[in-house]
């Protein structure tokens, strides 16, 4: 069947094998999670225990799969007007799918594994009808939501509640969506309704803590509605994409982009899970500590659920290695019996503990898990072939491996104890360059139509000259990162002898070079728009690209550093918030005096950089307002340069004031103090844009002359650096300095940035000495990974000290530590660039690109690849 004749209906059905495999993964994760909980492994096993402590995430994945599989007929009804599913037949199929196996498990658990005293008739009725979650005062022996051997069944009750209410939910969405006059309008309205459904969970979570914490409320459907909504959104997206309208083409583009970004989605899911495995959502064993913890948990579970399911349902069968693995025969079989794995796992665990006579939380995870796994797999296989498959063949049943009910979400009440939070190594998203957005044709459902490189080529052709990549700037960025590395090693090892010590102690001048580059690269689009009299770039795409470029890689490094090197602080929510959000420089209680933030001390400069990103649109508007009122390029450029001169003068005044006696040291970490270092780059942005608009003018010849005189400019930079490496700028290494010395260092650092960057800023795209020295392949590659070099260096240094037993994180031979730090930092930088930075930068560029239609008259959105 060709792509032009294939109908919309089979699209999701052809992915059922991979969905079945994903269900198997979720069921096995839940089994491991419960084994870790009942053995106490979560509380005593460090990083591994912390990772296993958040295995209840798999329940959210189960819920998402149910929303995806069960909502799809109603999604077609809403979008395309197909006949609605029969509610009676639908409910009968659901009953035949889940009740026989469930009732068999309940009978075995409540008879053969009954707790002392047995159970009342009301308790039997509650369990058989899955109504135990609605009893606000449960009288179960373990104080939980059912017998010890059936503690996971609360999540099946939530699933059944979704089954029963789904027809009503779909009817309400249809009533709202059918007000749309077109297919796209109906789909868009339905999508908004599903987002509103997801928001219900975040609002409902308040009832768990107001007026006081109520544990049993967590098991009600509204609390988990967002996870079902994730699957329903994906089902609607697939239905919407199978059409010919403009909206369908966009939906298809998003669908295929997700499929092409499978590795990115999985990487992001892993990073989110590592973040989830920290105290950010509360104590281990008690995931409902406070309302804030619960809201954060909902956000992370929602993100991970989407990132795990979306690549499976959006990719064509066999398109990705992820889908092929999930579709393999072993995973398909485990997926078929996954409902049984869910049903029998606590029965197996309870039987093992009854047989051995050991109390819960007594250890033995590594033998309990294999034993429980074997028993569970055997019972699950028997249940599938003796009960599930036969009843699925009954008239009104379904033979398709539709929505298997989810696994358990938490260890039952007896096991849900407050365990100590083990040390974990979380991680967070990252960023990086790569621009291959996938924009498929309107009707390209299944065949391998390889047209993906074309959008990227069009984007490159549309980019204006001032947004082109300047190769020579890559090498300068690499040089700055390496200089900062040398500076940090010198400070940590106490290098204090000779001129080498003085030169190394001024390596923080690399920060000034970074800021100069940022001012040049990020301000160029605004400068050119003012000089050309065109509309300024839009702020939203610019900020979105900055977000994806900076935050994910930083979160990865920060989560590792804060967890491994900051045990004394990482239980504080404010500690995590201020470092992850780069707010530590605004903490009036100096973090460095508390030995806080070990491993990422250098990111104070990243916090300043981010502050510059946020204020740049406003700053550009203020600088551009008087310039736009002038006529002629020269006059406008003159006013821009005058404004930048005033900005630099005001910044220099802040530098002086920040070094006065009695001024808090935090004043030296705020953006106004460093605008002096951004100003040279912004001035070069104005000059380069001016020369481009008037290529035959005198300024263009001046810029070319600067590029040709690169050796002289670099010699000036070295001379100024040598002057800065004297007592004129303060004592050896960092320390409190008088105002005069602080001002001298600030001015000299700005001049180094200016003289070093100027030849490359004005150089041609190819050729010339600047490109030979700083634009060669090695320098360019080091420039690409320079952000990683900046981020990872302290993690490697501190890690080395831990290995050799140096717990004060100071001392050592300079050259030895430098060699180890350089090697480790480069390796980690290469890995994080390709695995984290590049995929996320690709995603940021795709999300920030204006659509082809409706934006033709807008100013081009430019972000140089060098930024």
φ/ψ bin of 430: left (φ > 0), alpha (ψ from -120 to 50), beta (otherwise): beta
Q: What is the pTM of this model?
A: 0.58
pLDDT in tens, 774-789: 988 999 999 999 999 9
Mean pLDDT confidence for 289-300: 87
Query: Is the bond preceding 580 in cis, omega lying within 30 degrees of 0?
Result: no
Percent of the chain with pLDDT over 70: 85
Place of tokens 């498990």: 105
pLDDT in tens, 185-224: 999 999 999 999 999 999 998 888 877 777 777 889 999 9
Lowest-confidence region among 424-428, 512-516, 809-813, 822-826: 424-428
Would you give the end-to-end CA distance of the chain in angstroms?
47
Place of tokens 């819920």: 63
Distance CA 582, CA 558 (A): 10
Whole-number pLDDT of residue 395: 54
Place of tokens 């999701």: 12
SS3 assignment, position 252: helix
Whole-number pLDDT of residue 219: 86
Query: Is the bond preceding 233 in cis, omega lying within 30 degrees of 0?
Result: no
- Containing H/E element for 580? helix 573-580
Distance CA 55, CA 258 (A): 25
Cα 358 vs. chain centroid, distance in angstroms? Answer: 42
Structure tokens at 687: 């000059």
Whole-number pLDDT of residue 136: 72
Distance CA 597, CA 156 (A): 43
**pLDDT for residue 739 is more than 50:** yes
Lowest-confidence region among 39-48, 306-315, 317-326, 639-648: 39-48
Distance CA 551, CA 796 (A): 20
Q: 713: closest CA among 744, 750, 757?
A: 757
Q: What share of the chain is helix, strand, coil (3-state, %, to 5)?
A: 70, 0, 30
Q: 493: closest CA among 328, 331, 733, 670?
A: 733
Whole-number pLDDT of residue 171: 93
pLDDT in tens, 99-143: 999 999 999 999 988 888 788 888 899 899 998 888 876 666 655
**pLDDT for residue 487 is more than 50:** yes
Count CB neighbours of 701 within 10 A: 12
SS3 assignment, position 411: coil
Whole-number pLDDT of residue 51: 85
Mean pLDDT confidence for 345-356: 90
| Confidence tier at 468 by pLDDT (50, 70, 90) | low
Whole-number pLDDT of residue 404: 41
The tally of CA atoms less than 13 A away on the side-chain side of residue 587 is 21
pLDDT in tens, 743-767: 999 999 999 999 999 999 998 877 7
Whole-number pLDDT of residue 482: 95
Distance CA 259, CA 241 (A): 13
What are all long-range contacts of 355-362, with beta carbons under 8 Å and residues at least 24 apart? 360/38, 360/39, 360/40, 360/414, 360/415, 361/38, 361/39, 361/40, 361/43, 361/415, 361/417, 362/39, 362/40
Which of 38-47, 687-696, 848-857 reaches the highest mean pLDDT?
687-696
Whole-number pLDDT of residue 2: 34
What Rg, from alpha-carbon coordinates, does the chain have? 30
Distance CA 738, CA 656 (A): 9
Lowest-confidence region among 70-74, 464-468, 731-735: 464-468
Mean pLDDT confidence for 159-171: 95
Residue length of the chain: 867
Distance CA 482, CA 810 (A): 20
Whole-number pLDDT of residue 450: 36
Distance CA 473, CA 795 (A): 26
**pLDDT for residue 225 is more than 70:** yes
Q: Are 739 and 656 in contact (CB under 8 A)?
A: yes
| Confidence tier at 67 by pLDDT (50, 70, 90) | very high
SS3 of 155-177: the string is HHHHHHHHHHHHHHHHHHHHHHH
Q: 323: closest CA among 720, 25, 663, 60?
A: 25
**pLDDT for residue 449 is more than 90:** no
pLDDT in tens, 545-601: 999 999 999 999 998 999 888 877 777 788 888 899 999 888 877 776 677 888 999
The tally of CA atoms less than 13 A away on the side-chain side of residue 586 is 14
Whole-number pLDDT of residue 857: 42
**pLDDT for residue 343 is more than 90:** yes
Mean pLDDT confidence for 498-521: 90
Q: Is 595 exposed, middle or buried (0-12, 13-18, 19+ CB in 10 A)?
A: middle
Whole-number pLDDT of residue 143: 56
Q: Are 320 and 15 in contact (CB under 8 A)?
A: no
Average pLDDT, the chain: 83
Q: 733: closest CA among 505, 467, 479?
A: 505
Count CB neighbours of 618 within 10 A: 10
Distance CA 93, CA 849 (A): 45
SS3 of 188-201: the string is HHHHHHHHHHHHHH
**pLDDT for residue 863 is more than 80:** no
φ/ψ bin of 130: left (φ > 0), alpha (ψ from -120 to 50), beta (otherwise): left
Q: Are 746 and 676 in contact (CB under 8 A)?
A: yes
Q: Are 268 and 429 in contact (CB under 8 A)?
A: yes
Cα 281 vs. chain centroid, distance in angstroms? Answer: 16
**pLDDT for residue 826 is more than 70:** yes
For residue 234, CA distances in Å to 185, 240, 247, 264, 771 come to: 17, 10, 15, 18, 47
Q: Are 264 and 233 in contact (CB under 8 A)?
A: no
Whole-number pLDDT of residue 141: 61
| Confidence tier at 244 by pLDDT (50, 70, 90) | confident
């Amino acid at each position: 069947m060709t792509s032009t004749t294939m109908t919309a209906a089979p699209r999701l059905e052809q992915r059922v094998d991979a969905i079945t495999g994903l269900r198997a993964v979720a069921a096995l994760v839940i089994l491991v999670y419960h084994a870790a909980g009942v053995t106490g492994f979560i509380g005593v096993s460090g990083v591994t225990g912390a990772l296993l402590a958040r295995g209840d995430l798999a329940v959210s994945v189960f819920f998402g799969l149910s929303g995806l599989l069960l909502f799809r007929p109603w999604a077609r009804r809403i979008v395309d007007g197909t006949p609605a599913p029969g509610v009676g037949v639908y409910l009968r199929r659901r009953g035949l799918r889940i009740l026989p196996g469930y009732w068999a498990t309940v009978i075995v658990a409540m008879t053969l594994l009954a707790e002392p005293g047995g159970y009342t008739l009301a308790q039997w009725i509650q369990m058989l009808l899955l109504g135990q979650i609605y009893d606000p005062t449960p009288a179960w022996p373990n104080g939980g939501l059912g017998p010890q051997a059936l503690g996971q069944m609360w999540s099946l009750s939530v699933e059944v509640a979704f089954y029963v209410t789904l027809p009503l939910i779909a009817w309400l969405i249809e009533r709202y969506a059918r007000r749309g006059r077109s297919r796209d309008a109906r789909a868009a309205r339905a999508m908004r309704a599903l987002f509103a459904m997801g928001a219900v969970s975040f609002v409902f979570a308040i009832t768990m803590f107001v007026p006081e914490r109520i544990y049993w409320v967590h098991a009600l459907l509204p609390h988990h509605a967002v996870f079902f909504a994730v699957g329903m959104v994906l089902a609607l997206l697939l239905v919407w994409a199978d059409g010919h309208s403009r909206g369908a083409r966009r939906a298809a583009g998003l669908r295929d982009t997700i499929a092409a970004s499978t590795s990115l989605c999985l990487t992001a899911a892993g990073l989110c899970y590592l973040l989830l495995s920290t105290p950010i959502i509360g104590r281990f064993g008690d995931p409902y500590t406070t309302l804030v913890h619960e809201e954060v948990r909902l956000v992370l579970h929602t993100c991970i659920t989407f990132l795990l399911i979306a690549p499976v349902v959006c990719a064509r069968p066999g398109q990705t290695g992820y889908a092929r693995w999930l579709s393999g025969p072993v995973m398909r079989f485990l997926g078929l019996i996954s409902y049984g794995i869910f049903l029998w796992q606590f029965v197996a665990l309870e039987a093992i503990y009854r047989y051995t006579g050991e109390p819960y939380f007594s250890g033995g995870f590594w033998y309990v898990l294999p034993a429980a796994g074997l028993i569970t797999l055997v019972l699950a296989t028997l249940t599938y072939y003796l009960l599930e498959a036969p009843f699925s063949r009954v008239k009104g049943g379904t033979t398709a491996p539709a929505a298997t009910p989810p696994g358990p979400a938490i260890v039952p009440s007896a096991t849900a104890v407050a365990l100590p939070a083990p040390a974990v190594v979380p991680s967070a998203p990252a960023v990086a360059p790569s621009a291959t957005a996938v924009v498929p044709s309107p009707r390209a459902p299944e065949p391998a139509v390889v047209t993906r490189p074309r959008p990227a080529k069009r984007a490159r052709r549309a980019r204006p000259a001032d947004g082109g990549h300047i190769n020579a700037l890559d090498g300068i960025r690499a040089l700055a990162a390496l200089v900062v590395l040398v500076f940090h090693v010198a400070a940590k090892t106490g290098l204090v002898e000779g001129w080498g010590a003085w030169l190394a102690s001024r390596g923080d001048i690399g920060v000034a070079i970074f800021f100069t580059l940022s001012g040049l690269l990020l301000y160029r689009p605004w400068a050119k728009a003012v000089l050309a009299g065109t509309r300024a770039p839009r702020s939203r795409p610019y900020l979105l690209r900055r977000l994806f470029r900076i935050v994910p890689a930083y979160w990865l490094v920060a989560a590792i550093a804060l967890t491994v090197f900051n045990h004394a602080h990482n239980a504080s929510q404010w500690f995590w918030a201020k470092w992850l959000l780069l707010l530590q420089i605004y903490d009036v209680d100096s973090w460095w005096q508390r030995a806080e933030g070990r491993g990422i001390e250098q990111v104070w400069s990243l916090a300043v950089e981010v502050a510059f990103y946020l204020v740049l649109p406003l700053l550009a508007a203020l600088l551009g307002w008087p310039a736009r009122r002038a006529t002629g390029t020269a006059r406008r450029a003159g006013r821009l340069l005058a404004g930048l001169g005033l900005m630099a003068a005001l910044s220099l005044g802040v530098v002086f004031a920040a070094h006065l006696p009695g001024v808090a040291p935090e004043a030296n970490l705020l953006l106004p103090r460093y605008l002096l270092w951004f100003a040279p780059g912004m001035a070069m942005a104005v000059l380069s844009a001016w020369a481009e608009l008037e290529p035959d003018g005198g300024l263009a010849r001046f810029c070319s002359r600067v590029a040709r005189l690169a050796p002289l400019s670099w010699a000036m930079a070295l001379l100024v650096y040598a002057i800065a490496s004297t007592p004129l700028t303060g004592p050896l290494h960092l320390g409190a300095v008088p105002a005069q010395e602080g001002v001298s260092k600030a001015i000299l650092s700005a001049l180094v940035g200016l003289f070093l960057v100027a030849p490359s800023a004005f150089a041609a795209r190819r050729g010339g000495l600047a490109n030979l020295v700083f634009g060669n392949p090695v320098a360019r590659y080091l420039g690409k990974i320079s952000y990683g070099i900046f981020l990872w260096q302290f993690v490697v240094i501190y890690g080395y000290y831990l290995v050799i037993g140096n717990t004060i994180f100071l001392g050592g031979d300079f050259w030895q530590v430098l060699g180890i730090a350089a090697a480790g930092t480069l390796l980690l930088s290469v890995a994080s660039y390709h695995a984290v930075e590049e995929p996320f930068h690709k995603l940021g560029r795709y999300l920030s690109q204006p659509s082809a239609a409706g934006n033709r008259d807008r100013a081009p959105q430019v972000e140089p690849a060098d930024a």
